[in-house]
Amino acid sequence: MAWRYQPAGPKSPWFFEAGLGGSVLDGLYNSGQRRFSTAFQFTEVLAIGYRFGPEKAYEVSLRVQHFSNAGIKKPNPGENFMSLRFSLPW
């Protein structure tokens, strides 16, 4: 689930995004320093992005995302990721 805010209205190329959700990893995440105890994780994301191209169909965004199992099982170290995302319609 995501919430998108466009400060200058729907035609604005800039947007801010906040989201909450769940995800299932294809294995137990292990960075060498942090190890998840479950494949199921809750996730929160914050992003700032820019829409461009024909009908503003393309997007590029800088995202900060947190994964954690919310204490379902120990250990629950959580992990934060920063990513640059490019998206286009199919």
Judge residue 90's burial from the number of C-beta atoms within 10 Å of its C-beta, 0-12 exposed, 13-18 middle, 19 or more buried: exposed
Report which residue type is found at 66: H
pLDDT recorded at residue 7: 92
**Domain-wise residue ranges, the chain:** 2-87
Residue 88 corresponds to which amino acid? L
Cα–Cα distance measured from residue 20 to residue 65, given in angstroms and rounded to the nearest whole number: 10
CA–CA dist 24, 40 (Å, integer): 4
Q: What is the pLDDT of residue 76?
A: 86
Note the pLDDT of residue 11. Answer: 86
pLDDT tens for residues 30-63? 787 888 889 899 999 999 999 999 989 999 999 9
Q: Residue 47 belongs to what H/E stretch?
A: strand 40-52
Section 58-74 average pLDDT: 93
pLDDT at residue number 10: 85
